[in-house]
Structure 1
Amino acid sequence: MRQGMMTVAVTLGHVARAALWVAGICLILMTLFIAVQVFSRYVLGTSQTWTEPTAILLMGWFIFLGAAVGIREGYHLSFDVLLYVLPEGAGKVLHSLSDIAVGAFGAGMLWYGAELMIRTWTAVMPTLGLPGGVAFLPVTLGGALVLIFSLERLARRAAGLHTMRFGEDAPVE
């Protein structure tokens, strides 16, 4: 089980790295498009209609993909004060409960994001000409990744492998 989990972890590590690259590229593009809008409006005296809605779409991508990777790497919000006074076994139980709650939230994002995407797909974004459901793609994909990465954390813990927590250095395994 341990070796199989290591293979899954390596594969999901590649998925997380790709998601982080996409998030980073979206952040850079969003910044560039906003700069184009500001330059166009205040220097050229014209306004580009596509920059703001495109920047908002890109923002969804880098927020949801980045958040999913943050879940995998243990950077999600946690309140660890109680863990300092509990035995280590209780800490593992609480970490697992936290991962279950986060995974359930990811499942909700996936389910309701997909529902919104499907229901709005036939609408058209006026300034971009794209289907309206495109705006919910990052919610859906981000939710799927949050769910997968939460399940990975649970499986790693069950296999006796280390799961990252905020502020820790990566262990050598």
Structure 2
Amino acid sequence: MRGLERAYDRLINTMGWIAGSILILLMLATVLKVALRLFFGHGLLGIDQISGIMMVWMTFLGAAWVLREGGHVAVDILTSNLTGNTARVAALIAAVTGTIVCLAVAWFGFQAVITSLRRGVVVAAELEIPRAVNLIPIPFGALLMGLEFMRQAINICRGEIPVTAGAH
């Protein structure tokens, strides 16, 4: 089981690195577009469209890594004064809810990708890119986040995650 968990962590780390690399490529593409527009009066065709696709990929590939590292936004207005068992139960409810929501998004996202591929849906824009290209990272990233929330729930139940006031 530890080998499977290590492989999962390597996958999450790889997805985090890919997301970071996409962010750098996105920044470079934007700088290139602005520079070309400034010096030559026009940018590259499709950069905005590709940038939008890159943002979706970056977000969903990096989301599980951010979740594992505790970097997601947490609204602790209700939980900041909880301690002990109450804090643990609240954290468990949040982790289980996150698991359910992410796995549902993964399932419906997978269905959307399959439907899009079967129908051959293409986004009508500067570049004709299959819609599935935009959708593929959504079920994959949501599945990984669901698994990460599930791992958090299991670790909370085992007492391996210390739950303190204001923790998420």
SS of the residue 1:76 aligns to? coil
RMSD, matched Cα: 2.5
SS of the residue 1:161 aligns to? coil
Residue 36 (1) aligns with residue 35 (2): no
SS of the residue 2:122 aligns to? coil
Letter in 2 for 1:141: F
Relative distance call for 1:82 and 1:118 in structure 2 (3 A) is: same
Residue 80 (1) aligns with residue 79 (2): no
Contact 1:72 1:149 in 2 (8 A): yes
Query: Residues 2-49 of structure 1: CA distance to partner in whole angstroms, max 9, x if unpaired?
Result: xx4x54443332122111101001101111111121122221123311
2:21 pairs with one of 16, 22, 25: 25
| Unmatched 5+ stretches in structure 2 | none
Deviates more, 1:106-115 or 1:133-142: 106-115
Deviates more, 1:96-105 or 1:82-91: 82-91
For 1:9 and 1:131, locate their aligned partners in 2 and report how far apart those are by CA, in whole Å: 34
Instruction: Report the TM-score when normalising by structure 1.
Output: 0.80
Count of residue pairs the alignment pairs up: 163
For 1:45 and 1:65, locate their aligned partners in 2 and report how far apart those are by CA, in whole Å: 35
Residue of structure 2 in register with 1:147 after alignment = 146
For 1:138 and 1:56, locate their aligned partners in 2 and report how far apart those are by CA, in whole Å: 13
| Unmatched 5+ stretches in structure 1 | 169-173
Query: Residues 110-164 of structure 1: CA distance to partner in whole angstroms, max 9, x if unpaired?
Result: 1222222222231224544432111011211111111110111112223332369
For 1:164 and 1:34, locate their aligned partners in 2 and report how far apart those are by CA, in whole Å: 42
Instruction: Report the TM-score when normalising by structure 2.
Output: 0.82
**What are the equivalent positions in structure 2 for 1:58-69 lying under 5 Å apart?**
58-69=54-65
1:116 pairs with one of 104, 112, 135: 112
For 1:21 and 1:91, locate their aligned partners in 2 and report how far apart those are by CA, in whole Å: 32
Residue of structure 2 in register with 1:132 after alignment = 131
For 1:84 and 1:123, locate their aligned partners in 2 and report how far apart those are by CA, in whole Å: 46
Query: Residues 35-72 of structure 1: CA distance to partner in whole angstroms, max 9, x if unpaired?
Result: 12112222112331121111111111112222222222
SS of the residue 1:158 aligns to? helix
For 1:45 and 1:19, locate their aligned partners in 2 and report how far apart those are by CA, in whole Å: 37
Letter in 1 for 2:151: E
